[in-house]
Chain A
Amino acid sequence: MSSNHSVDGVTAEDVAPPTLWALFIEFLVIGAVSFGGGIIAYERILLIDKRKWLSPDEFMATLAISQTMPGLNSVNMALLAGDKLRGIAGAVAATLGLILPGAAFVLIVGIIYSEGADHPLANLLLAGVAAAATGLLASITFKIGANHFRHLKSVLIIAATFVLMSVVKLSLIWVLVVMAPIALYLYRPKP
């Protein structure tokens, strides 16, 4: 690593790279405590403030790639941060840490559900749970969409995508084949 010993001006580069175990444990903690979402915020605190593994600029650049590429943003973020710090092994350690607690949780609850799905009480409880989960999904959609609902270009793309998917009932791949080139043309970089 860097042999720069300057006292002031300590950057993310000067911090020794973390062990794989440290990467795994830090992301495991996020994976275990992030009930109710907001994982990117937890990752931001860990990477920038708590361990100073990334500078704020590096974090923003990594976040941009995470959001552009397919896959879950929080998982992509863990992958890219792990890769930057410790290569492929770091990417695997961070990602496994992030998904293991939630994976264990859904499997245990899911198995209980599969065993007792037709139990009348389970169905009663899940009716309200599913209604609230729908409200949650709608509110996330509104929040993410808030900036876009003001721009005609975005509203047209949102509406066209919805119609192709839910009304015309095209399969997802065809919706993307139709919409991605149109949207990319509309948002092409200005020369």
Chain B
Amino acid sequence: MTVLIQLALTFGMLSLLAVGGGTAVLPEMQTVLLQQFQIAHTTFVHIYSIGQLAPGPNMLMVLVFGFHVAGMLGASVVLVAFFLPSSVLCLMVGRIWHKIGESPWRRAVQNALEPISIGLMASGVYAVAKAAVIGPVSISLAAFSLVVIMFTKFNPVYMILGAGAVGAVLIQYTGWH
């Protein structure tokens, strides 16, 4: 029971702090999941990566953390906790906004939050990279994916699947990571 309340509070808080999209809360999520639920950084990065293969909004892997901690009940608690608070807030503000119309302050808030969100995403890249990019094979695969996804229209899902296969072969035969 306590663990479910802990899950609800943790993901409810992350929901409301997810400025500029969910990716901004990645570094905080990684830290909190280790401290409160003993989810190692490697496990975190594995589950995050699996989530990138899924269709739909890109943070649905939070359900897997809930499942990891407390089974299907944990996954359900996380689903509600991560999506309900921000959704209620967004609905309320959305309705007020339709009444009062566009204001220069809305633009100011968006402009101010964007660079903060990018800074947090950069922290997310750093946090994920520390656990995932650990040797010549993973450095090459990460750099190659970065360039391909940046400069082509290649679907990231195929990139990730391909990197999994190539990485497995390279690590198996070279012994490097």
Contact: A128 with B55, CB < 8 Å?
Answer: no
Write the B44-70 contact mask toward A (1 if CB under 8 angstroms, else 0): 011111111111111111011001100
Residues in A with CB closer than 8 Å to B90 are 65-66, 69-71, 76, 79-80
DSSP majority for the A interface? helix
- Given contacts A158-B115, A166-B127, whether A128 and B120 have CB atoms under 8 Å apart is no
- Given contacts A36-B156, A128-B164, whether A106 and B51 have CB atoms under 8 Å apart is yes
Contact: A189 with B107, CB < 8 Å?
Answer: yes
Would you call B99 an interface residue if the criterion is a C-beta within 8 Å of the partner chain's C-beta atoms?
Answer: no
* Residues of chain B from 82 to 104 with CB closer than 8 A to chain A in the complex: 83, 86-87, 89-91, 93-95, 97-98, 102, 104
How many chain A residues have a CB neighbour from B under 8 Å?
94
Residues in A with CB closer than 8 Å to B122 are 141, 145, 158, 161-162, 166
**Chain A's nearest CB lies how many Å from the CB of B9?**
13
Contact: B125 with A35, CB < 8 Å?
Answer: no
Contact: A135 with B55, CB < 8 Å?
Answer: no
CB nearest neighbor in B for A144 = B118
Residues in B with CB closer than 8 Å to A91 are 87, 91
**Chain A's nearest CB lies how many Å from the CB of B100?**
12
Contact: B63 with A107, CB < 8 Å?
Answer: yes
Contact: A72 with B18, CB < 8 Å?
Answer: yes
Would you call A59 an interface residue if the criterion is a C-beta within 8 Å of the partner chain's C-beta atoms?
Answer: no
Contact: B54 with A105, CB < 8 Å?
Answer: yes
Would you call A1 an interface residue if the criterion is a C-beta within 8 Å of the partner chain's C-beta atoms?
Answer: no
Contact: B155 with A83, CB < 8 Å?
Answer: no
CA distance A171 to B29 in the complex (A): 10
Would you call A165 an interface residue if the criterion is a C-beta within 8 Å of the partner chain's C-beta atoms?
Answer: yes
Would you call A89 an interface residue if the criterion is a C-beta within 8 Å of the partner chain's C-beta atoms?
Answer: no
Q: Please list the 8 inter-chain residue pairs (A to B) with the smallest Cβ-Cβ separation, ordered nearest first.
A: A128-B167, A161-B119, A102-B56, A135-B145, A71-B86, A110-B64, A132-B163, A189-B104
CB nearest neighbor in B for A151 = B115
* Residues of chain A from 131 to 152 with CB closer than 8 A to chain B in the complex: 131-145, 148
